[in-house]
Amino acid sequence: GQNIDQPTEMTATEGAIVQINCTYQTSGFNGLFWYQQHAGEAPTFLSYNVLDGLEEKGRFSSFLSRSKGYSYLLLKELQMKDSASYLCAVRDPGRRADSWGKLQFGAGTQVVVTP
């Protein structure tokens, strides 16, 4: 099985930077994903890491350390629309080579951006 931990809630001011940490313990690993989810809506893809290091994508960056079972999502120049839940998810290796395994999600971190 897998255990994925992330903080429940974080609050930051518009224009600031927030870092959301995620730690995981897994029986298998085939990549880590970050999703954004607004209340009542579908999760939308933000980033993907499978190798150690930093992936930068506009205002969002994601970091992975496989040896430490650790990732973070960095949100820069926060905007009010960034208020949402941010989900860390680890992908299982698929049972067969022809399909990807399931995503196992953390409980999500609610980010509140204040004026």
Partner 1 sequence: DSGVTQTPKHLITATGQRVTLRCSPRSGDLSVYWYQQSLDQGLQFLIQYYNGEERAKGNILERFSAQQFPDLHSELNLSSLELGDSALYFCASSVGSRHGYTFGSGTRLTVV
Provide the minimum distance between the beta carbon of 101 and partner 1 in the complex, in angstroms, as a whole number.
7
- Three-class secondary structure of residue 97 per DSSP: coil
Residues 60-79 that bind partner 1 (CB under 8 A): none
| Chain position carrying tokens 């905007």 | 79
87 contributes a contact to partner 1 by CB under 8 A: yes
Rounded Cα distance between 46 and 7, Å, is 18
**According to the binding rule CB under 8 A, does residue 27 interact with partner 1?**
no
Piece in contact with partner 1 (CB under 8 A), picked from 18-26, 35-43, 66-74, 75-83: 35-43
Q: What backbone torsions phi and psi does residue 76 show, to the nearest 5 degrees?
A: -105, 160
E strand or H helix that includes residue 20: strand 18-26
Query: Given the rule CB under 8 A, which residues bind partner 1?
Result: 31, 33, 40-45, 48, 50, 87, 89, 91-92, 94-96, 98-108
